[in-house]
Amino acid sequence: MPASERINMAFIGLGGQGRGHLAGGAWTYSPGGYLARPNVQVRAVCDVRCDRRDEAARHCNTTYAGRFRRPGYNDVTAFNDFREVLARPDIDAVLLALPYHWAASMSIMAMRQGKDVYCEKPIAVTVRESRMMVKTARRFNAIYQAGTQQRSAYGGKFRRACELVRNGHIGELKEVYAYRPPGVYYPGAWTSDQSQPMMDGLDWDLWLGPLPWRPFNGWFGHAVPGTYAGDINWGPHHYDFVAWVVDPDPGKPVEIEFDGGRIHYHFDGGVIVHSYPYPNEPVGGEGGACFVGTKGRLAVDRNALVSDPANIVQAPLRPSDERVYHSTNHADNFVECIQSRRTPICGPEEAARSIDVLLSGGIALALKRSLRWDPARGDFYGDEEANRLLAYRPRPPWCL
């Protein structure tokens, strides 16, 4: 494909998942990653660790040198500061695989610079962040894809489960078991003052970004320990899928019941979502859920799709049944939507709706009490303490 027709991309965050997206690996489901795509040109890589960014740049340049038969190819540049990447006018899109607290802020900054965005989960750690992400995507007409790849991958099991439940193949939906607790940004008091020598080649201040300052204590990963309540890691996959299936009315309130460490969401229409597994059900543990209706039960995860009675999952969809968005590859879908300007399978509104379910329940979990959530306004009814947890004060200069 001519260079003028390729999508120019940058990759920010080059840990396991970011590197997988770039060059192929676990959880990315595209052999060779974006680097192998003829319609994509990688222009820049960025990470606060110099070993990661330098190795990624070397790999990209070596790959392109062989493909283009240009010995000494050196057009893929490594950056420490993502702001330099976003300022480049030749970058069309960015893929963000970041520490959790950076996801929404960097997505917003990228879209303001005219970039399309693929952002790994969790796409936000507060409700205010997710709402601002949606507004920014709309304002700048950006293509935004959340990295909830279960909607596209795993042989279509999740899509088929969604269509079966939505179309009443288990009867009227009554209960959902989400298998994981919700989660939210809820930092505990910082008590350790035992700083450690800085890891070589790490920009710790930039890694912290909007988080309150704390000295480096030898730990490095994608989430500061003690910063979140509940499950902010796997939870986004489970609750994204649950929200996709349940499709709650965004104008109706949700009663969030705190039950001794467990959460029950009471949606309008009588559907109850539980934050734990269905008793003795082995399916649902890897990103899935169990759905209980008046005519049967269906459970799905990354490894299996089962039902009771068994013929529910075996029956074909009826001609009159509603179909949901069809995608077989999350990365393909993102690239296609950049070209067509169609909304991706998990665009900004879908992504925000899903993460807001997780975050609102996470606040109830953090406060250890029941709450009443208004999804239309994005806050809690008459509860100042809970509403204060919808955002946090970022460390300067990272105020959006």
What integer pLDDT is reported at residue 76 of this predicted model? 98
d(CA 229, CA 364): 10
Q: What's the length of the chain?
A: 400
CATH 3.40.50.720 domain extents, the chain: 3-151
List the structure tokens of 44. Answer: 């820049």
Residue 354 pLDDT level (bands cut at 50, 70, 90): very high
What number is the average pLDDT over the span 210-239? 91
175: enclosing H helix or E strand? strand 173-177
217 pLDDT above the threshold of 90: no
Q: What is the pLDDT of residues 239-280, one digit of tens each?
A: 999 999 999 999 999 999 999 999 999 999 999 999 999 999
Residue 191 pLDDT level (bands cut at 50, 70, 90): low
310 pLDDT above the threshold of 90: yes
Q: What is the CATH number of domain 3-151?
A: 3.40.50.720
Amino acid at 284: G
CATH 3.30.360 domain extents, the chain: 153-327+348-400
The runs of H, that is alpha helices, within the chain are 16-23, 50-67, 82-86, 103-112, 127-139, 157-166, 204-208, 235-246, 311-314, 330-340, 348-367, 384-387
Compute CA 150 distance to the chain's CA centroid, rounded to the nearest angstrom.
11
Mean pLDDT of the chain: 95
Q: Please give the residue that has the higher pLDDT: either 17 or 27.
A: 17
The SS3 of residue 127 is helix
What integer pLDDT is reported at residue 192 of this predicted model? 63
Q: What is the pLDDT of residues 31-84, one digit of tens each?
A: 899 999 999 999 999 999 999 999 999 999 999 999 999 999 999 999 999 999
25 pLDDT above the threshold of 90: no
Query: CATH number of 153-327+348-400: 3.40.1010, 1.25.40, 1.10.260, 3.30.360?
Result: 3.30.360
The SS3 of residue 160 is helix
Q: What is the pLDDT of residues 104-117, one digit of tens each?
A: 999 999 999 999 99
